[in-house]
Structure 1
């Protein structure tokens, strides 16, 4: 059978905490080889949606289909197997401070493979080499910069050769030059490893530079209100909230022309 171009399908997902609805009617497809951006202002539910996609938070209703399988309908053992397809870079890098960089990257290999220590060490060196961090293998997180911690976290995320990578605010707290270098690295990993990437971010330069598809979550209506590449939404959207976000405006346009139907 031919391989499907769709790796993940989110179908009519609602996310809520008790009576508080975070997002509802969320639907989109994640295409193989794409860099998909989850966009929106603070508090709109970007990271909450990411947690539902990586197995940390079940949706209130709806489905997250991974390779055609309803992720949240599977038993815990099967979900764990599916999780091996995922690599996650959390916002802070989330490195264990008591472990060296090399030990952090080795952790998933030690937990989920039966490779001997010498092979694990070689694999760690390879993964750190891919992100330009091989010289830091024996250093502790406190001994390296914020940008280096992000790259070390990325090396750990790709330790098990996942085909889907999730990044939560990868450029947060980084200076513009370091952020641009991280963008280049993400593109290199996509092209070199064939990975498909989901990126949660409000950093517009990064979104415009690397994302080729995306969804815009609205905090006021608790719904997605736009779908498309960030550059396309910037240049063509007539939705006031999207226009304000993409152009860093402090006010939302309210002309009659922009009061169109806001469904995705």
Structure 2
């Protein structure tokens, strides 16, 4: 893989809360156009790693290189500029309950661009149309289903045409049919918009369907113990903890209940 194909390089990252180590020795490259899965059981640090990658949690040690820049060595203003290339779908979509769906999608454009209101409205229509939500533009989040909220959250995440999308448990709480439709939408975002995607999930059907690379975090050793696509790890990995997770075996070792 050439340097030009690498959007983010994580190098020997250590994440901790005080003396409590969440993960250490985390290293991987995020390839342009890939769907990269952060995998592992509950409490292994999946969401903690994602938070560090998007600027919400400073690592204890190590580097996150965005292109050639050490993200956490930059000023707050420069990190803000880098973040303009990121789109994030938080758990449960995290829509503002006091705003309509359209107002939620418009918010990043209103806050971070100088676009006139008419152009923002046109782009909101475009983004909602892309995720099949144009009919919900004037509805409140409380008036739509969980799957529709996830799609609205995706529309907001792509509002600024990001290079990289970070999705935190996008299928959590959804029924299998809605989850499969969301998987199809994520693939469409990758193929149609050229976005690179990082997904935190423990939903195996989704991981097998869409992810082409990934890392497996272990809650006991607090280290990554496998790297590869979910399908390859399922079919070829011999590490017991990974095998148990990928095949849903009952003897999966107990996890350390940390954040993740």
- The TM tier, using the shorter chain, reads over 0.9
Q: Which residue of 2 aligns with 1:9?
A: 9
Shift of 1:252: 4.3
State the Cα deviation string for residues 122-172 of structure 1 (Å, max 9, x = none).
000000000000000000000000000000000000000001000000000
Q: Which residue of 1 aligns with 2:59?
A: 59
CA distance in 1, matches of 2:19, 2:108: 37
Shift of 1:176: 0.2
User: What is the number of equivalent residue pairs in this alignment?
Assistant: 252
Task: Pick closer, same or farther for the CA change 1:20–1:3 going to 2, 3 Å.
Answer: closer
CA distance in 2, matches of 1:195, 1:62: 26
State the Cα deviation string for residues 5-61 of structure 1 (Å, max 9, x = none).
000000000000000000000000000000000000000000000000000001000
CA distance in 2, matches of 1:135, 1:160: 21
Q: Which residue of 1 aligns with 2:258?
A: none
Q: Which residue of 1 aligns with 2:74?
A: 74
- Where does structure 1 lack aligned partners over 5 or more consecutive residues? 254-264
- Where does structure 2 lack aligned partners over 5 or more consecutive residues? 254-260
State the Cα deviation string for residues 95-133 of structure 1 (Å, max 9, x = none).
000000000000000001111111100000000000000
State the Cα deviation string for residues 52-110 of structure 1 (Å, max 9, x = none).
00000010000000011100000011000000000000111000000000000000000
1:197 corresponds to 2:197: yes
Q: Which residue of 2 aligns with 1:132?
A: 132
State the Cα deviation string for residues 218-245 of structure 1 (Å, max 9, x = none).
0000000000000000000000000000
Structure with more relative contact order (C-alpha pairs < 8 Å, separation 6 or more): 2
Q: Which residue of 2 aligns with 1:97?
A: 97
CA distance in 1, matches of 2:147, 2:32: 28
CA RMSD between the two structures: 1.0
Q: Which residue of 2 aligns with 1:257?
A: none
CA distance in 2, matches of 1:252, 1:155: 36
CA distance in 1, matches of 2:61, 2:136: 44
State the Cα deviation string for residues 188-235 of structure 1 (Å, max 9, x = none).
010000000000000000000000000000000000000000000000
